[in-house]
Amino acid sequence: MGGYELRQRIRAGEFNGQTSGQCPGYQQANVVILPASSADDFLRYCVSNPKPCPILAVGEPGQAKLTQLGHDVDIRRDIPAYRVFRHGEAVASCDNIMDLWQSDFVAFVLGCSFSFEAALQRAGITIGHIAAQRNVPMYITQIPTQAAGSFSGPLVVSMRAFNPAQAIRAIVLSERYPHAHGAPVHIGDPTAIGIADIHQPDFGDPPVLQDGDIAVFWACGVTPQLALRQAAPALAITHQPGHMLITDLPTDGTIT
C-alpha cells in the first residue's frame, strides 16, 4: 500500500509534519503546480535539467488525481503542507489547496533525494545530517541551469560529507537512482562551484563535517523553486520543503 495510510491521515488533517523517514521503501516527491500557460515552459525546464528536476509524473491540465503514483493520490490534499506563490513570491502556507485548484492547473511530481539516502543507509553508510537530526544543507551554486522560456536560475545542491571510502560508495549507489537526482554533480572543494562558506548553507541546517571527510554535492529539488521565482507566474503552488508527497512507488522500482 505504500503511503496510502499516511496520505489518508494527511487528507484528514491528522498529519502535517515533515515526511523524512516516513514510509521507508516508497518514493517521496517534490511537487510544483502551475497554470497551463506556464506548464509547457516548466516541462521543458525539467526535461532540460533532469538532475535537479527528475520527472516522476506530469498531470493533464486539471488532473488532480495522480493514480499512476499511488492509490487514490489527490495532489490537492495529500501533501502535509503547501506553499502558495504569487508572482514568484511565497505568500501563504496551507494544508490543502481545494479552494485554490483551477481547471487549467498542471501538477509536476519530481523525485527527491530520500530514495538514495535510504540506499546509502541500507549499505551501512551514516548520513551526517540525519544522524544529527538536522535538515540537509543546501547551497545556491554558480552553475547555471538550462533556461526554458522564462524559467532559469542557478543550480541548487545538497551536501552530504563522508569519509573517502564511503564517498566512493555513495557515488556508486546514488548513480543507480536517476529519479532521485542520480550521481553527484561535484565533490571536494566547495568554492569550485561558487560556495563561499560551506558552514553557511543557503537553505537547511549547517553541515556535519568530520576531519578527513569529503564533501559530496548532489543536484537538489529546490532548484526549480528558484526558477519559479525567476519566472514569477501569477500563481503557483509547491509542497512546503521537507513536506513531500509520499507515493506508492517502491524506491527500487522502475518508473514507467
Binding footprint of its own copies on the chain (CB under 8 A): 164-165, 167-169, 171-172, 175, 183-189, 192, 212, 214
CB closer to its own copies, 135 vs 174: 174
Which CB sits closer to its own copies, 58 or 167? Answer: 167
Cα–Cα distance, 195 to 27 (Å, whole number): 29
- Residue closer to its own copies (CB basis): 115 or 225: 115
Residue 223 vs 238, nearer CB to its own copies: 223
Phi, psi of 40 (to 5 degrees): -65, -45
Return all residues near 206 (Cβ < 8 A) that are at least 6 apart. 134, 137, 199, 200
Torsion angle, alpha carbons of 38, 39, 42, 48, to 10: -140
**Minimum distance from residue 112 beta carbon to its own copies (Å):** 20
The least distance separating its own copies from the CB of residue 219, rounded to whole angstroms, comes to 12
Residue recorded with cell 493514480? 67
For residue 233, give the 3-state DSSP assignment.
coil
The C-alpha atoms of residue 220 and residue 156 are separated, in whole angstroms, by 5
Taking the complex as a whole, the smallest distance from the CB of residue 204 to its own copies amounts, in Å, to 21
Give the residue carrying C-alpha cell 514510509: 23
**Strands (E) located in the chain:** 26-35, 55-58, 82-86, 89-94, 105-111, 138-144, 154-162, 186-187, 214-219, 236-239, 245-250
Output 168 or 232, the one with its CB closest to its own copies. Answer: 168
Least CB distance to its own copies at residue 216 (A): 9
CB of 115 to its own copies, least distance (A): 17
Nearer to its own copies, 23 or 219 (CB): 219
> DSSP assignment, residue 74?
B
